Structures are given as structure tokens and as C-alpha cells.
Amino acid sequence: MACLVSRTGRHLQRYDDLGRRQVVGCIPYRYKCCSDGSISDDWEVLVISSQKGHKMMFPKGGWEIDESREEAALRESLEEAGVLGNVECELGKWDFISKRNGTFYEGFMFPLLVKEELDFWPEQNVRRRTWMNVKEARDVCQHWWMKEALDILVERLNSMHQHKEQRNPLDAWLGATNCALS
């Protein structure tokens, strides 16, 4: 078994041309499984607590110079939430100011279709993780830009569901979801 630890420090941190720190996050989600083992069209998202308090959010952190945005999103979801999966198409880019430091940031968000939920992960002793429906997650999420990313994900998944109903079922896309996560 490999030893998993969170990256620390800012020596590899990326900044944009205006000097804003670049961060990457993801919205981990999964489809619920029915009692008969089939996959439903209902889904839920994973939120985590902040390290220094009880605020809830989605995993995010610094984008480093030795990784792509997608790799950073996957790393952050592993370090902070203990989940692995498929990083999907970017939800967008947001410019925001950190309330804690008054620092400007450029943030990118991705959906992460969760394939595996780990029992042990680097930040398990400093964070709580909770699966919730979209409304609950939107209510507890502390960052406006993450709420906007969630709204985009909802729209995208609803659109895919409507498209699926109009055509043959997308079994490959839904079938890859791990029902053992429920």
C-alpha cells in the first residue's frame, strides 16, 4: 500500500498574468443505486468541511506547475475527500477574492464522476465528507462560485438525462458507476 500525503507549500504554485493564485476544484458526484442493484437517474454530490472550521465546500486547492488542471482536480479530490474517479469537462472559470486573506484568485471547477471512495486518505483527520442531494449541498456550500459551478453541473446532467430519454440508453456512461459506493 502506498503512503498518501497531501502536497504542502507554494513553491510549485501557479499564478496568472495578474498575479492571482490559480486554484482547481471539483464537484464529486455519483448516481444512486436502486434496491435491485440497478442505477437510478438520481445523483448526489460530496461536500467536505474546511480544515479550519465547519464551513462546507467542494474539494479545491492550488494548481501546480507540474500538473494539468484535470490532474490537480483529481489530486485535490483524493487529498481532501478521499475519492477517485473520472474528471469530466470543465465547468468554468471564476475570479474571486478570498474572504480570509483578501487575496485574488482564479478558480477552475470540474465534475468528478466518483468510481471509488477510500477508507483512508491524506486529510481524513482534518475534514468531514458528506454525500448530499443538490439542494442540501447548495445550501451548505460557503462559496458563491462553487454554487455557480454546481448549477452548471445540474444543468449539464439534466440535459444529458433528457438526451438519454430521447435516444437509446447510455448504458456505458451510467454502467461505469460503482454501485458499491452507496
pLDDT tens profile 5-49: 555 556 789 999 999 999 999 999 999 887 887 777 789 999 999
pLDDT band per the 50, 70, 90 thresholds, residue 173: very low
CATH classification of 21-181, choosing from 3.90.79.10, 3.40.50.1100, 3.40.50.10490, 3.40.710.10? 3.90.79.10
**Cβ-count burial of 15 within 10 angstroms (0-12 exposed, 13-18 middle, 19+ buried)?**
middle
Q: Where along the chain do its domains lie? A: 21-181
Q: Measuring CA to CA, which residue among 37, 52, 27 is closest to residue 114?
A: 27
Is the separation of the CB atoms in 92 and 73 below 8 Å? no
pLDDT in the model for residue 6: 58
Q: What is the percentage of the chain residues whose pLDDT exceeds 70? A: 84
Residue 95 to residue 18: CA distance in whole angstroms? 11
pLDDT in the model for residue 175: 45
pTM score: 0.82
pLDDT in the model for residue 22: 96
Q: What is the mean pLDDT of residues 61-81?
A: 97
Q: Which of 19-23, 76-80, 82-86, 161-165 has the lowest mean pLDDT?
A: 161-165
